[in-house]
Amino acid sequence: MSSVKGAATSQSYLLGDTLPYPFCPGCGHTKIADYLAQALENLALPAEKVVLVTDIGCVGLTDKHFGVNSFHGLHGRSLTYASGIKLADPELTVIVLLGDGATGIGGAHLLSAARRNLGLTVIVANNFNYGMTGGQHSVTTPPGAITSTTLKGNLEAPLDIPGTLLPSKPAFLARTSVFSVDCVELLTRALTAEGFALVDVWDLCVAYYAGSNTLNKETIAELMTELEMPAGALYEGTRPEYARAWRALYLPETADEEGMCYAPPDEGLSPVATSTLSQRTSILIAGSAGQKIRSAATLLGAGALLSGLYATQKDDYPITVRTGHSAAEVILSPQPVIYTGVEIPDLVLILSPEGLKHVQAKLGSWPESTRVYVEKGLVPGGGLATAATIVELPLAEAAKTVHRLAIGAVGLGAILGREELYPLEAFRVAARKLQKAKVAETNIAGVEVGAGLAQLR
């Protein structure tokens, strides 16, 4: 390797005045650093467009000897910084140099970067143990090996790094050793691969692993055979490189206006109607997940804004999506709403058994002035245990004439029809501004049916 050593002192990628490397005499990391410098030289990449990303472990000390950009981060996380760098600037050549320790602790990052086929060149200096902390076993320690944490032999199966990544079909996977003549060639190929490239370089830790386990130039090749982890270029893929593919797919697109759209393209929610509401009024809507409670509450609030009122909305629901209760608190007021909580609701709408269960504990604290609109079938024979004024309405039955999921709109229609919060027209405008046409018309039909229901009684 005399030619490589010559490069180390005369060429631009290694900073001659920082040498020699800080590694133990005979450590394989010295060779890997030299091979990398040689591969860079072969490609004559502009140094300012190369970023060498390393993390904690002896091999992480390599970066300061290179005359390229360097990012030396937390143990096992070099792939995450490298991913951010590449995603932000796909023109950069981003090299990740990590040990087998970092490979283990950052395993999720390795799998993810390979699955994305993100254009990183990953070099694993794989010396089968944690050298920096005194020779503990790692994810690649062979079976039976003696380390300071496998005193009677290693019982864990070693990770086949390229083999594990193979199903992701990244751009390039290879295995070699610091003693192999193809090392520079494989690193060069990895650097030019369009996508995720990894070279697993089996390496010698002379301070710990090699001594305890008689690993050397000859036995490293035997170990590959024994573990059925062959050397050489193992895979070349053709999937598109992620950072560029992402840009091609996403950057030309405009925002998707699925369902609720919170950026109305026109004049927003500027008033189209007026309200006679004279004081802060809180409305608690309680129903079941899947009843579109939250979007109905948003329409109630948006209708208020369209009537020149102020409004707030906050929701309450379990972490599950289509099961359990769903509740919303909406406050309407002619003045800005300062406190967004509801101490005693002025109006309550109960739409389902889950909704009733959700408010059950509070029923007793509500005064007569609280008016509770409740789906007819929900009230037990003895009535509800509350002083609040109960208004029973056949909301579900009425909703059937429109759409089962319009029950929230029907209930709100009843309240708007009775309570004179603001004109029905503002609710119609809110629905048409915020929802897709079909959903909006269903809700408008629902609110009208509900308002009629309230008038009849």
Partner 1 sequence: MIEFLEGNDAVVRAAIDAGCRFFAGYPITPATSILTGMMRELPTVGGVAVQAEDEIASIGMCLGAAMTGMKAMTATSGPGISLYSENIGLAIMGETPLVIVDVQREGPATGAATKGADGDICFLRWGTSGGLPVIVLSPESVLECYTLTVEAFNLAERFRAPVFLASQKEVGLTREPVDLAQARAAAAPPLARPVASPDEPYLPHGFAAPDEVGPLSPLGGPHLVRYTTSMHDQAGLLTKDPDVIAAMLTHYERKITDHVDEIARYELEEEAGADTLVVAYGVTARAAREAVARARGKGARVSLLVLKTLYPVPERLLADALAPVSRVVVPEMNLGQYVEELRKLADGRELISLAKMNTELLTPEEILTQGGLL
Q: Which of residues 93-112 bind partner 1 (CB under 8 A)?
A: 108-109, 111-112
385 neighbors 325 (Cβ within 8 angstroms):
no
455 binds partner 1 (CB under 8 A): no
> How many residues does this entry show for the chain?
457
Min CB(69)–partner 1 separation in Å:
5
Min CB(151)–partner 1 separation in Å:
30
Min CB(428)–partner 1 separation in Å:
16
Return the structure tokens found at 211.
Answer: 């001594």
Interface with partner 1 by CB under 8 A: which range of 77-85, 122-130, 230-238, 415-423?
A: 77-85
Measured from the CB atom, the residue of 395 and 434 that comes closer to partner 1 is 434
Distance from C-alpha of 433 to C-alpha of 431, rounded to nearest angstrom: 5
Listed in order, strand segments (DSSP E) in 110-161 are: 120-126, 129-130, 136-137
Beta-carbon neighbour count of residue 59 at 10 Å?
Answer: 30
133 binds partner 1 (CB under 8 A): no
Distance from C-alpha of 127 to C-alpha of 106, rounded to nearest angstrom: 16
Min CB(67)–partner 1 separation in Å:
7
Angle CA 320–116–120, to nearest 5 = 140
| Amino acid sitting at position 193 | A
Task: State which of residues 80, 126, 168, 352 lies at the interface with partner 1 (CB under 8 A).
Answer: 80
Min CB(264)–partner 1 separation in Å:
7
Distance from C-alpha of 136 to C-alpha of 265, rounded to nearest angstrom: 61
131 binds partner 1 (CB under 8 A): no
Task: State which of residues 31, 77, 371, 428 lies at the interface with partner 1 (CB under 8 A).
Answer: 77
- CB-count exposure of residue 167 (10 Å: 0-12, 13-18, 19+): exposed
Of 264-323, binders to partner 1 (CB under 8 A) are 264, 267-270, 298, 301-302, 305, 310-319
Of 213-252, binders to partner 1 (CB under 8 A) are 246-247, 250-251
Measured from the CB atom, the residue of 65 and 418 that comes closer to partner 1 is 65
Task: State which of residues 262, 382, 438, 456 lies at the interface with partner 1 (CB under 8 A).
Answer: 262
Three-class SS state of 200: strand
2 neighbors 34 (Cβ within 8 angstroms):
no
